Amino acid sequence: MAPHDDAILDVFRRAGALLEGHFLLSSGRHSPVYLQCALVLQDPRTAEDLCTRLAGAFPDTQVDTVLAPAIGGIVVAHEVARALGARALFAERQDDRMTLRRGFALRPGERVLLVEDVVTTGGSLRDIQDLARDAGAEVVAVAALVDRTSGRDPGFGMPLAALVTVNAPNYPPADCPECRRGLPVVKPGSRNM
């Protein structure tokens, strides 16, 4: 971890958002560590500070719209968009596909920054990346508060900017040590609510 990673993780610890146990991640993988960003982002000043720092990774990038997957990325998109002077949209799962609802739309040529709270496999961000490209928008960057890809390429075709990198193990359920020990799994995330 980089020195600034410790300071960001301290924010999570103080909020009670760095959890240990046996968790089912949105990706379907299991992990003994979970970062509950909602507990950190519930404080507007903290949300503004973290997301302004994240927006700072793009000082020379023209961004028209910040797009996130619901639910975890909504506050991140809003605060990053505020810092960049852009608009904020979120996509929702409908029939297992990410879609823009509520009158949201992307225009051809619109420059879009994709954001998320935590990235493990990158599945939700790849889904909204496809959504943006299908609309003719140009995805200019991808970012998250927390990168927990553990060095795996999430397949965005561009680097992932993140405030903090957490190399917590995660496993397919069949390979999960906690499952083999019979520990019950907890699903704190929002997918398939």
Number of domains in the chain: 1
> Looking at residue 42, which CATH number applies to its domain?
3.40.50.2020
Tell me the one-letter amino acid at 15: A
Cα Rg, the chain, nearest whole Å = 16
**SS3 of residue 186 by DSSP:** strand
pTM for the full predicted model: 0.89
Range of the domain at 161: 3-180
Is 192 within the bounds of a domain?
no
Residue 181 per-residue DSSP state: T
CA 13 – CA 33 distance, rounded (Å): 12
CA 132 – CA 100 distance, rounded (Å): 10
pLDDT truncated to tens, each residue of the chain (193 aa)? 454 688 999 999 999 999 999 999 888 889 999 999 999 999 999 999 999 999 999 999 999 999 999 999 999 999 999 999 999 999 999 998 999 999 999 999 999 999 999 998 899 999 999 999 999 999 999 999 999 988 889 999 999 999 999 988 889 999 999 999 999 999 886 555 4
Is 44 within the bounds of a domain?
yes
DSSP E strand boundaries for 36-137: 65-69, 87-94, 97-99, 111-119
Is 193 within the bounds of a domain?
no
Is 149 within the bounds of a domain?
yes
